[in-house]
Amino acid sequence: MKALICITPHQLDYADIAVPITADGETLLKIERVGICGTDLHAYEGTQPFFSYPRILGHELAATIVTTDAEGFSVGEAVTFIPYFYCGTCIACRMGKSNCCAKINVCGVHIDGGMRTFLNVPSYSLVHGNGLSFDELALVEPLAIGAHGVTRAALISGEYVLVVGAGPIGLGTMEFARIAGGKVIAMDINDGRLQFCKDKLGVVDVVNPATENATEKLMKITNGDMPTVVIDATGSLKAINNAFQFLAHGGRYVLIGLQKGDISFSHPEFHKRESTLMSSRNATRTDFEHVINSMKKGLVKPTTYITHRVKFEEVKDNFESWLDPANGVIKAIVEIP
């Protein structure tokens, strides 16, 4: 079968590899769709922290079951899966936080992913498709990332929530902050993406810190209070450090975005607010189920995010272009034959 491999930063190549042999406790999937994630783009750029080369990218997947020993699942069923493979015995797993397992293997990051025809996954990772389309199933995982960040924030209905970054993860975060009852404010330096937030997500308040005084605008929007929840979905060190100043007294700051550098902020400013800083890594099965239920109820329309679509054999020639903001990529979807 064919696979697309990221050999080194900025180098993708197709290769013939063997169809995997399935062992006990594994399910063989025929991959149908792959969503291109910020993680894939960062890996291609060489800026993804938890990464080694060569690597088959791809963890936002929709698939059909070929063979399985998973109870309640059947051959031919359309599924997605939870791509964070865990040990089950470490302190995080024993606390029910397998999303940050001490020995975690994230498909497409630590181990080879789904940019190929067939993929073996642990049977415990399967998630029922519940009648969703392949396009929708490929977007469950990125939406679950946002849903998990909102859960980490312990959002209270009526709070102002500033989401920094209007890429796919940020958009999903906005959606689930809205579902939780938050008053969402979108921040980005790309006016096109901010307009997308208005037109497609119904976000009323948007801020572009590159062209307007962000602090003054946030003060006006929040009636002088500032947002009680700030969530970063950029992975930009500059954006992460800058956003500390936007946090209300008593507020919570959640980092979904990831980068390689050291965070820096004023301790007195942070301390006087009695602020809370936390990370949000991956997602849990509960988050996946919440996303799927929200899709089924029509609370989230994930296919709205799909702006680019290519065949598997076209990915190599198009990948570099998805890094250019001028091309207006929100979510690119790959169809696997």
C-alpha 318/C-alpha 330 separation (Å) is: 14
For residues 176 and 110, membership in a common domain is answered with no
For residues 214 and 109, membership in a common domain is answered with no
Q: What are phi and psi of 303, to 5 degrees?
A: -65, -15
For residues 172 and 105, membership in a common domain is answered with no
Find the domain containing 6 and state its range: 2-138+301-335
Residue 135 corresponds to which tokens in the numbers above? 């396009």
For residues 69 and 152, membership in a common domain is answered with no
Structurally, how many domains does the chain consist of?
2
* Per-residue model confidence (pLDDT) at position 260: 83
For residues 62 and 188, membership in a common domain is answered with no
Residue 296 lies in a domain: no
For residues 262 and 318, membership in a common domain is answered with no
For residues 92 and 128, membership in a common domain is answered with yes
For residues 201 and 314, membership in a common domain is answered with no
Residue 166 corresponds to which tokens in the numbers above? 């209007």
Which residues, given as ranges, of the chain have pLDDT below 70?
Answer: none
User: How does pLDDT run across 132-154, given as a tens digit for each residue?
Assistant: 999 999 999 999 999 999 999 99
Residue 289 lies in a domain: no
- Residue 209: CA atoms inside 13 Å, Cβ hemisphere, count? 19
* Per-residue model confidence (pLDDT) at position 259: 86
Sign of torsion over alpha carbons 68, 70, 76, 80: negative
Instruction: Identify the CATH number of the domain in which residue 189 sits.
Output: 3.40.50.720
Strands 11-16 and 306-311: unpaired
Amino acid code (one letter) for 105: N
Instruction: Identify the CATH number of the domain in which residue 9 sits.
Output: 3.90.180.10
Residue 111 lies in a domain: yes
C-alpha 254/C-alpha 194 separation (Å) is: 21
C-alpha 42/C-alpha 323 separation (Å) is: 9
Q: Which of 270, 242, 272, 247 is closest to 257 using CA atoms? A: 242
Residue 203 lies in a domain: yes
* Per-residue model confidence (pLDDT) at position 48: 78
* Per-residue model confidence (pLDDT) at position 97: 97
Residue 284 lies in a domain: no
Sign of torsion over alpha carbons 297, 143, 99, 137: positive
For residues 196 and 252, membership in a common domain is answered with yes
